[in-house]
Amino acid sequence: MIGLHQIKHLLKTACSGGLLLFITGCGPLDSPQWNQPLETAPAAAPPASPEAATATATVPRSATSVPEFNPAPEPTGDSAVLRPYLRGNSTYGWQPGQLGKPEEFWNQRVNNKPVNSDSQAVTDYMSYVTRENKSDPATELFGRFDLGKKANNENYSIHVLEADANTQRYDFTPRFDQFWRPHCDRIAMPVPENGRLQGQPGYQCEGSGDCHLYVVDASAGRVYEQYRAHNPGPNRRRYLGGCTNVWDLRTVQPKNLRGLSCTSANAAGIPYVPLLVTPGEIKRGVIRHALAFTMPNGFVERDRYARPATHNPIVSARWGKAIQGPGQPMRYGSHFRLKPEFNISPDWPPSLRVVLQALKDYGMYHIDGGPRMIVLTNDAFSPYHWDDPDIALNPRDLNEVADVSWKDFELISTQDEFGSMRRSDCNRRSVTERAKDVNTTLAR
């Protein structure tokens, strides 16, 4: 059911627009358009995502209108090296529902992890800056789910593509202003014949979006991530790429990941794909890893990052101060957990309950600048879809069904594990891997 303060918010913002998440146009209240503002970093800085996404909100529905799950069976054995939407690969010790080994930080349950002593100050601040009317706590909107659509490129549209040992690798020409050495690697990218870039209907990067190319090669235990890709693959005039990295998930990641103050294809320097929720996980009724969320860069502390993040693109010398408010802003890469006492009602949609339980068990990591949202994968290449009757996850469920607030979360980033862009520069050796060498190896 929609609470009184949500109705109040819709009425108040229908034509005038809100601070961060607002309705455009003056159509009926049961079919609003939700639009996110832009906040882009200076072109020369490592990636702080352009915060642009226009999505159509699904009409709110009663929790009782969603059927119970008919969960898909748990995968067993190697299952032909499970596709990314199923995850798990016993060859490398990955558990069902996870990418990477159980010891990876994103696969760790955090129910008993201590609360950071700054938690109250940070959640007070986040609650304040996410209110449309700063004097009325009831107007806080926590954020939404970004789902994407199977038929087009709506919303943030994170596509995770599947590769295997037979997928050809291709070299790219680095974009001079978006490929930063030594942060980035010139790695030959596996490019499936059919695919899409983030926020695009195909492999053409049109406009100023991030145009990430994400590929999982479970057969090699690798996840490839590339910023601002354009024209990847065969029979294309020129393949351009921004910051690129590969995560080798056959072994546990080192504590400093790719190096302190080093970015990756995403600003915080954290692997993105293993944190993304897929329709298949909702279908199975359980999520076994932490989630990823984005927030406008105006909400984050300058210069500092919370481990395991290794980078913060929002430095005070270029961006000035964060939005003022009570408490203190969160740091890049902050890890939050839904409080144990938060009541997950059995009357809520099963899909929503699955996500909320994961937020209690594994939490969520801030991974990049962007709209206020928890990021899930686009379902264009999945056998399961967000609007399937037994999934039916609504982008607005966090607010309109569960009425989630920042006061329902607690900060669990380790108190003494913080870094600062002022203390160190990225110091690593860039990796080069040519397509002709990789493809020759694959052909043997």
For 393, half-sphere exposure in the C-beta direction (CA atoms, 13 angstrom radius) is: 32
pLDDT tens figures, 338-387? 999 999 999 999 999 999 999 999 999 999 988 888 989 888 888 888 88
> What 3-state class would DSSP assign to 142?
coil
pLDDT tens figures, 189-236? 999 988 899 988 889 998 888 899 999 988 888 999 999 999 886 655
Cα 245 to the center of its chain, rounded Å: 16
What radius of gyration do the chain's Cα atoms show?
Answer: 21
Q: How many CB atoms sit inside 10 A of residue 238's CB?
A: 8
Cα 236 to the center of its chain, rounded Å: 29
Cα dihedral 184→185→188→189 (10° resolution): -30
**pLDDT at res. 11:** 36
Sign of CA dihedral 386, 345, 359, 140: positive
pLDDT tens sequence for the chain (444 residues): 444 344 333 333 333 333 233 222 333 222 222 222 223 333 344 544 433 333 333 333 333 333 344 444 444 433 333 454 456 566 787 888 889 999 999 999 999 999 999 999 999 999 999 886 677 776 777 788 877 654 444 545 788 998 988 898 999 989 988 888 899 999 899 999 888 999 888 899 988 888 999 999 888 889 999 999 998 866 556 899 999 999 999 999 999 999 899 999 889 999 999 999 988 889 889 999 999 999 988 899 999 999 999 999 888 888 888 888 899 999 999 999 999 999 999 999 999 999 999 999 999 999 998 888 898 988 888 888 888 999 988 888 998 999 999 999 999 998 677 888 888 888 888 888 777 676 655 444
**pLDDT at res. 31:** 27
Cα dihedral 154→155→158→161 (10° resolution): -10
Q: Residue 202: CB partners within 8 Å, gap ≥ 6?
A: 195, 196
Dist. CA 364–CA 359, nearest whole Å? 6
Place of tokens 């029979």: 235
Dist. CA 294–CA 364, nearest whole Å? 10
Q: List residues bridging with 420 in a β-sheet.
A: 304
Dist. CA 365–CA 150, nearest whole Å? 26
Dist. CA 131–CA 139, nearest whole Å? 5
Dist. CA 362–CA 335, nearest whole Å? 9
